[in-house]
Every structure is written in C-alpha cells, then in structure tokens.
Homo-oligomer: A and B are copies of this chain.
Amino acid sequence: MSIERRTTRQKEAIKAVLEEQDGPLLPDDIHRLAIKVVPSLGIATVYRSLKNLQAEGQVCCVEIPGQAPRYERSDKGHHHHFHCRDCGQVFDLQKCVAGGLKNLAPPGFEVIDHEIILYGTCKACLS
C-alpha cells in the first residue's frame, strides 16, 4: 500500500507555481517563485515534491541538451520547446510538425518518439 499523503503549504505553493507557468521550469526557478508564498521553503522540498509529482504523473521532465532538467505540468499534450539563447528561458511551442519525421531514420530503424528544440531569441529579448 502507498504512503499516506498530507497536504502542506509547501506542496501547494510548488504546484501553484507549476500551474500558472507556461514553459518548463528549473527546480531553482520553482524554488525562487514558490518562496514568495512560503518564505521558509527549502530547495530539498522542491526536489522531493517534483519527484512525487512526477511519480503521480502530474508533472513531467523537459530536458534541453547541456542543461539541467526542467519540469512542467503533464496535462499540456504533445508539444516542443523554444530555448532563448539570450535570457535562457524555455517556451512551449503550440504546433508540432512530426509528419515526415519517421522518414528521417535509416531503413530498419523503429522511431518511437522524437524531440524538437528551436533555438533563438525570444520576443522580449528582441525588443
């Protein structure tokens, strides 16, 4: 049987941050935002909560090559990401051009999944 869960201000604050955010966030980002609600919040609790939320399927992990894992709500459906090389922020993309991707693989290879990452400058950094 699974462990009894309790509702805490800390977990609620972390979930709220992930809820209202568009793109994926670093554990450190989440900490910095959630600390506004629960000032005593420790980074260890952020890692613990993310691990639990991920196990429960509420949150999923987004990895940009060469960077630490980010986390976002898992109810957003299939999508990809844009990484701004100026501010470092990661944004969600709406559409996915996966059609034709499978043809990229060599003959005899089975494609199960794919990842597309766009790099560039976001709107805010351009202006």
Contacts and interface: CB of A to CB of B under 8 A. Distances in A.
Interface of A: 63-66, 69, 80, 82, 85, 91, 93-97, 100-123, 126
A4 to B, nearest CB: 32
B118 A116 contact: no
Contact of A112 (B93, B103, B107, B120): B120
B119 A111 contact: yes
B104 A116 contact: yes
Contact of A110 (B69, B111, B120): B120
Given A105-B118, A114-B116, A114-B117, 19 more contacts: A80-B104, A82-B105, A82-B106, A82-B109, A93-B106, A94-B106, A95-B103, A96-B104, A97-B104, A101-B116, A102-B118, A108-B123, A109-B120, A109-B126, A110-B126, A111-B119, A111-B120, A114-B119, A115-B116
